[in-house]
Structure 1
């Protein structure tokens, strides 16, 4: 039974679709919804750890996603800023450590060569996750 849903977002239209699906699932199952960003980090061993987004940018992404969830009937969404060197590893690790039993994420329309070159966070999370993963388009 789905009790804890994690929705990964980066503020794009693709991830907004995921937030909507996650909110619908949370309502359907009476589940808790956590929305996260993965702030990809570089450096750190000899220099400072540098993240992709500033704290203000992360707050804007999470606040926007929480507003979308609220507009679809889910209040009290937990917001989490994950810092990880790899987005898929950060999402899966958080899910495992926090009792998440369903992950929802969006994906772009990557096909052919662009899919091979760019990879897919959603595909990697689906392959690594210990729980169900829903990919929204």
Structure 2
């Protein structure tokens, strides 16, 4: 049974589809919903990690996703940000550490060669996750 849902977002249109799906799922099952944005960090080793998004950008992404979730039945969604060098690793690690039993995320419209070259965070999460992963389109 689904009790704790994690929805990963980056503020893109495909993420909004995932937030809607996750909110409706949380409302249907009475599950807790956590909305997560991974702030990809660069640097390190000899210097500080530098996050991709500013605090204001990150807040806007998460607040926007929380508002969408509330419109679709999940008014009590939590929002969290994770700093990681790799988005999929950050999502999966957060899910494992917090007892998440279902991950929901969107995917861009990558097909053919662009999919092979660019990869897909959703596919990577689905391959690594310890729990069910729903990819919303």
**Alignment TM class, shorter chain as reference:** over 0.9
Match for residue 19 of structure 2?
19
State the 1:47 CA deviation.
1.4
Aligned partners of 1:77, 1:109: CA distance in 2, in Å? 27
Give the TM-score normalised by structure 2.
0.98
Q: Which runs of 5+ in 2 are unaligned?
A: none
Q: 1:55 and 1:47 mapped to 2: Cα distance?
A: 20
Distance 2:46 2:97 in 1: 28
1:125 aligns with 2:125: yes
Q: CA RMSD in A?
A: 0.6
**In 1, Cα distance between equivalents of 2:65 and 2:136:** 15
Matches within 5 A, 1:53-132: 53-132=53-132
Q: Which 5+ residue runs of structure 1 have no aligned equivalent? A: none
SS in 1 for 2:46: coil
Q: How does 1:12-51 map to 2 (within 5 A)?
A: 12-51=12-51
Matched residue count: 137
